[in-house]
A and B are shown apart, each in its own frame.
Chain A
Amino acid sequence: MTRRRDRKALRQRIEAVGAAPSPEPRADRVAATEARLRAIYDAHGGTAPATAPATGVGQSRAAGRGRRRLVGSAMAGVLALGVLVGIALATRSEDGAQNGSLLLTAADRAYIVLPDGTRIPAAAGITVPDGARVVVEAGGSATLDGVTLQPGESATVDGGEVDVRPSGATPDSTSPPPSSSDPGTSRTTDRPATTVEPDPGNEPPTTTTTRPPTTTTAPVPLDQVLELRAWATIDGEVVHLRWQRYTGDDFGAYVVLARYDGLAPLPERPGNVVLFRTTNPAVNTRDVRFRPGMTIRIVAVAADKHIVAGSRVLRPTAEPRINGTGGTPAGSSTTTSTSPATSTTSGATTTTRLD
């Protein structure tokens, strides 16, 4: 009932905005357009032009319906084929012995170095291909084919076997350094990810990324896409968000997702709130209202809504400032520096935790 009342109020608010005057069209443009329209008549012997081919003018519905049916049938066929291919790929991946790949069943603070040197964040459920290496960072762990790796250890998948060794001794002459990736020479894989570390202390750098073509129609899990570095600073009740720009050709929009229940805003998890969306690839900042317990994740999506890059979960937390005279609530802060990597606040302490 309350929601219905709220919706009515919202409707009235929109109508009030609609009732406000909007700018008039420029008189010279109106005159010029009218002259142009008349010129079109003149060019066609004083009559309206003969019908041009139909392009989105909302008429000829029967023809449109026929076309749509045809397109719909074709798309359904393609979709069905895609599903079959996906199932086939999934089945093949689950049977690791067939191609020497192994399933990663757990991962925390770990990453995978693919045979071509591409480095991707590790996550449970990823099938690690033959020749790839799982590296566990300090404080992390990973379980590969039932073998649990401890912090500092790494394991290489070798023909369906796990070859565990201390991380420091790992890179051999045949595997390139983990953080480098040359998309131009990369072997095509179904792991479309490359991580580029932003330069701390400067503007987040742009990342030009060439994503290898995906070979499955299933959505790519967020942990397997390009990492988008992101920062959050709190200034009173405002959270200033800033993120690394994504400059891949497949960019469609940035979306800022949030949750207020403490859970990570995974794209497929119900209950996310979209705080902001922009199709401008140059936009990489946004201010949002702070709420205790909020979690934020910034993702870049392609035009077809697939996620192409995603940040880790940001948990902006306001902590009392310790200044010798007792704590000051975060709400009393006044200014915030503009550099995300070296963000400081005067009047309040800002903490941003990355998961």
Chain B
Amino acid sequence: MELAADAAGSRSSGGEPPPPDDRELVALALDRADAFAELYRRHVRDIHAYVYRRCGSSTVADDVTAAAFERALRHLRRFEWRDGGFRAWVFRIAANELTDHYRREDGRRRRDHRAAAAGIGVVFDADPAIAVDDREDPDGRATAQLRSALALLPPRYQEAITLRYLSGLSQQEAAAAMGSSKATFAVTLHRALRALQQIMEPQQ
């Protein structure tokens, strides 16, 4: 309520102040923790759902979402309002965080393998954390099938489809989240769908 009043004060409008929009909250958040906390609470579910749909693990989604918001805060002073706004920006940060997460996981796994290989005649056990077909699957067969097919796509195609259709971002927001123009995003999305279709055809 206090935030709403402050935001309304900056708009100089009378009557009951409406809740501040993201743009106003970002401006307030430069100096106020409660403004950024409000932004966090407002978008945490969407970001978590997006990461979950990309990786299929709720635990990883928790970690990546937390890291994404912390990174957003640390770079808030450099944020410039563009198409898609704060939400699209955090989506993009989350996508980068997820990529970093996988890189770290890959490095860790390779170190483990190297250490084990220094022993004798090692047969490695499957690591269920990353395997495409080992992921948690509370959503049923259709989701699992789609997720397996999505996992075969290049990361950029995965990102486009997840942002646009699984996370429900508008074309403009999704383009901004990927750091591309609307036209470029449309082409990427078209190609991504075509590639997904080709992958899913033999499975059907």
Contacts and interface: CB of A to CB of B under 8 A. Distances in A.
Given A7-B197, A37-B33, A280-B132, A23 B165 contact: no
A1 interface: no
A325 interface: no
A161 B66 CA distance: 67
A291 B126 CA distance: 28
A40 B117 contact: no
Interface in B91-147: 92-93, 96, 102, 106, 109-110, 113-114, 117, 121-127, 130-133, 138-139, 142-143, 146
Contacts of B92: 57-58
A277 interface: yes
25 contacts: A10-B196, A13-B146, A17-B139, A20-B139, A22-B49, A22-B52, A24-B45, A25-B45, A29-B66, A37-B33, A37-B36, A37-B70, A38-B37, A41-B33, A42-B33, A46-B32, A47-B30, A48-B73, A54-B78, A251-B110, A275-B202, A278-B131, A278-B133, A280-B109, A280-B127
Which of A48, A51, A274 is packed against the most chain B CB atoms within 10 Å? A48
Contacts of A291: 202
Given A25-B62, A41-B33, A278-B131, A273 B198 contact: yes
A59 interface: yes
Contacts of A22: 48-49, 52-53, 139
Interface of B: 29-33, 36-37, 40-41, 44-45, 48-49, 52-53, 58, 61-62, 65-66, 69-80, 89, 92-93, 96, 102, 106, 109-110, 113-114, 117, 121-127, 130-133, 138-139, 142-143, 146, 148, 151-152, 161, 165-168, 179, 193-194, 196-200, 202-203
Contacts, number: 193
A56 interface: yes
Interface string A49-65: 11110101111100000
Main DSSP-derived SS at the B contact region: helix
A18 B53 CA distance: 8
A26 interface: yes
Interface residues of A, number: 65
A23 B122 contact: no
A154 to B, nearest CB: 32
Interface of A: 3, 6-7, 10-11, 13-18, 20, 22-26, 29-30, 32-34, 36-38, 40-42, 46-52, 54, 56-60, 203, 205-206, 208, 245, 247, 249, 251, 258, 273-283, 286, 288-289, 291
